Amino acid sequence: MIGLIVRFVVSALVLLLVSWLVPGFEVSGFWGAVLTAIVIAIIGYLVELVFGEKISPQRRGITGFLVVAITIYLAQFIVPNYVSVTLLGALLAAVLVGVIDLFVPTQIKSKA
What is the DSSP code string of 41-107?
HHHHHHHHHHH-GGGSGGG-HHHHHHHHHHHHHHHHHHSTTTEEE-HHHHHHHHHHHHHHHHHS--S
Q: Under a CB-based contact definition with an 8 Å cutoff, are residues 94 and 69 in contact?
A: yes
pLDDT confidence bin for 97, thresholds 50/70/90: confident
Note the pLDDT tens digit of each residue in 9-68: 888 888 888 889 888 899 988 998 889 888 888 887 887 787 776 655 555 567 777 888
Q: Under a CB-based contact definition with an 8 Å cutoff, are residues 24 and 85 in contact?
A: yes
pTM of the model: 0.76
At 71 the pLDDT is 87
Note the pLDDT tens digit of each residue in 65-76: 788 888 889 988
